[in-house]
Amino acid sequence: MNRRDFIAAGLVSGASALAAPNAAFANAINAEPVRKFKLNYAPHFGMFKLHSGDDLVAQLKFFHEQGFTALEDNGLPARPIADQEKIGRTLADLKMTMGVFVATKDFDNPTFAVTTWKPEMREPILKEIRNAVEIAKRVNAKWCTVVPGCHDERLDWDYQTASVIDMFRRCAEICEKAGLVMVMEPLNTRRDHPKLFLNKISQAYSICRAVNSPSVKILYDMYHQQITEGNIIPNIDLAWDEIAYFQVGDNPGRKEPTTGEMNYRNIFRHIHSKGFKGVVGMEHGVKDNKTKEGEMACIQAYVWSDNFEISG
């Protein structure tokens, strides 16, 4: 399941109206969650639809009831403004945190890597960033995802890197004023996104240092990096000062923790031990998404992975 699939699935899951019975909603707000996680895990719309249905508010209530304290919605910019505002109000009522949405992306063409030589490409990107600032206000979001496009085989890599740095600086001028953090996401080129410019954590780290803005940080998607370079915990330590956000997905399969080769209990323990207070996005599918038991197994995978001892 690639990024396009996640965005499309989230939008389809929220196609129904956002209305919810007032009494039931009040009960959901006042009800204590069935558990308290140590980290702020964030499911996405459509993840547990057999339990919650398609209604967006009902889904948020279910997330809250299960102990999740955050939400991801890659496709948020495509939702009607009224829906964005409703999501924002519901998150506030439930005291949940808005995670990332995708501000700008291109999986097929060079964008950030060529704007120095193609200045006509700058304004469409800047327009999307300005739009992201307005969306963030509606849902009280602190972070938005940026995928800086593909590489250009006709340009030396260093020229492309310089162009990416320059474009992020231009975007940062907009985001800094609003307090919005763009998190650039390295994606794997071996399985899902073979043409993309940004694929390694060290590469993102060097760009963050060069841009030198509080509004440009790293989204560390551990599924992608397990495929690209592995070495998850050491790279977390090396890039720690520039990491603002994490995403989860086991490999192979890109499903919940415990379904693949990654030891997420150890990874979560490590992130927690370093004092991470941000959001850990559940950007993956559910291994058995055809049954309620499968959805609950996904939740229980997080219960198990979050059950680590706290040292010190």
Q: Is the pLDDT of residue 28 over 80?
A: no
| Residue 238: count of CB within 10 angstroms of its CB | 14
What is the architecture, at CATH level 2, of domain 3-14+32-305? Alpha-Beta Barrel (3.20)
Does pLDDT of 98 surpass 80?
yes
pLDDT band at 311 (very low <50, low <70, confident <90, very high): confident
Checking if the pLDDT of 176 tops 80, the result is yes
Residue range 45-69: mean pLDDT, rounded: 98
- Tokens at residue 99, please? 């995670």
Percentage of the chain lying above the pLDDT 70 cut: 90
**What CA–CA distances, in Å, run from 205 to 124, 183, 240?**
25, 11, 9
- The pLDDT of residue 8 is above 90: no
What is the average pLDDT across 252-275?
A: 98
Q: What's the 3-state SS for 26-72?
A: HHHHHCCCCCCCCCEEECECCCCHHHHCCCHHHHHHHHHHCCCCEEE
Whether the link from the prior residue into 21 is cis, omega within 30° of 0, is: no
| pLDDT tens-digit series, residues 124-160 | 999 999 999 999 999 999 999 999 999 999 999 999 9
* Amino acid found at 97: T
Cα 147 to Cα 298: distance, rounded to the nearest angstrom: 27
pLDDT at position 19, please?
41
Query: What pLDDT band is residue 312 in, cutting at 50, 70 and 90?
Result: low
Q: Does residue 14 surpass a pLDDT of 90?
A: no
State residue 190's pLDDT score: 93
**Mean pLDDT confidence for 268-279:** 98
Which residues pair with residue 71 across a beta bridge? 98
The whole-model pTM stands at 0.90
Q: What is the mean pLDDT of residues 288-301?
A: 98
Report the pLDDT averaged over residues 224-248: 97
Q: pLDDT band at 7, cuts 50/70/90?
A: very low
- Alpha-carbon span 207 to 113, nearest angstrom: 12
Tokens encoding 283: 């950007």
Please provide the average confidence, as pLDDT, over all residues in the chain: 92
SS (H, E, C) 93-126: HHCCEECCCEEECCCCCECHHHCCCCHHHHHHHH
> What amino acid is encoded at 215 in this protein?
S
